[in-house]
Amino acid sequence: MDKQWIEQLPISSIEQVKAVGGGDVNEAYQIDTSKQKYFLLIQPNTSKEFFITEAAGLEDLQKAGITVPEVYHVDEINGDAYLLISFLEEGPRVNYRDLAKMIAKMHQATSENGLFGYQYPHQGTDINFDNDWTDSWIELFIERRLDKLRDALVKSNKWNQKQVHTYEQARKVILEELTEHASQPSLLHGDLWGGNHMFLENGEPALFDPAPFYGDREFDLGVTTSFGGYSQEFYTAYQEFLPMAAGYEKRLSFYRLYVFMVHLLKFGGIYESRVDQTLQEILP
């Protein structure tokens, strides 16, 4: 890390800066000072707007009573966007029942205007989604997310016409199912895979790295089933704290499809079979 870059951060008494795992999107660093530790995320050659949504999500989650890193600063240095947050220390204990209780609590927070969406768009490195407010979950999820992913996969030559046809058949099923399902605009983490939760030194669960918006809470639950990382105890407890409506098992596959389409667009053929398999799960 460039020393002159680091010296422009709004913190003092820096003792150590070391690179840490931060996923596949951002550069990530642990910064130790004489008083505390910070977590620094950097997106090179990008404006600070890149982190605005994530920072707002952390603050909204915190307002809802969810344990998340404290947001200290969002800005840019020498044309590089950065997000400076508190560093959470991970502990050895896990408590999936408490994690389920916390996520159920998050999902009980709803948008003040009663609409689906968010105040800021979703900004990714490969695709962006607008989060403009709407009274229709179908519009937000199918038309503005799934359909946009379909078009992006075709444009990038990662889908052929046969795959598009299969998607269109599955889309009819998704549309029919969601038309019959009463969706509510819950506060969502938006990227709730196993790598975005942790348990602190006292065993308390915490969330981080959100891609927030208000949507059907089954979206978050579907994301959790994409790559594992959540025990059966978690799902049993969630059903106890905030039961899902009948037929939810089928609907969770809609959100796995979304996750795998995003990953197919980003990483290519390694996810093609996961997308195809999920489409077949959705078809009658």
pLDDT in tens, 171-196: 999 999 999 999 999 999 999 999 99
Count Cβ atoms within 10 A of the Cβ of residue 229 and give its class: 0-12 exposed, 13-18 middle, 19 or more buried: middle
d(CA 190, CA 208): 11
d(CA 270, CA 76): 34
Asked if residues 184 and 111 have their Cβ atoms less than 8 Å apart, the reply is no
- Res 23 pLDDT > 90: no
27-33 sheet: strands from edge to edge:
14-19, 27-33, 37-43, 80-86, 71-77
Name the CATH superfamily for 3-86: Phosphorylase Kinase; domain 1 (3.30.200.20)
**Domain map of the chain by residue range?**
3-86, 96-282
Instruction: Give the closest residue to 137 by CA, choosing from 209, 210, 65, 188.
Output: 188
- Res 124 pLDDT > 90: no
Tokens describing residue 218? 């089954």
Residue 132: the pLDDT is 98
Residue 3: the pLDDT is 86
Asked if residues 257 and 170 have their Cβ atoms less than 8 Å apart, the reply is yes
Q: What is the CATH number of domain 96-282?
A: 3.90.1200.10
- Res 115 pLDDT > 80: yes
Q: Which helix (H) or strand (E) holds 81?
A: strand 80-86
- Res 1 pLDDT > 80: no
- Res 216 pLDDT > 90: yes
Residue 22: the pLDDT is 60
d(CA 104, CA 187): 10
Rounded to an integer, the average pLDDT of 49-78 is: 97
Tell how strand 80-86 and strand 186-188 pair up.
unpaired
- Res 24 pLDDT > 80: no
12 versus 242: the higher-pLDDT residue is 242
Question: Per-residue b/e over 67-103, b at no fewer than 16 CB within 10 Å?
Answer: bbbebbbbebbeebbbbbbebbeeeeebbbbebbbbb
Residue 122: the pLDDT is 95
Average pLDDT, the chain: 95
pTM of structure: 0.95
Residues annotated as catalytic (active site), given as ranges: 191
> Over the stretch 221-279, which tens digit does the pLDDT of each residue have?
999 999 988 999 999 999 999 999 999 999 999 999 999 999 999 999 899 999 999 99
Contacts of 3 (CB under 8 A, 6+ apart): none
d(CA 75, CA 63): 22
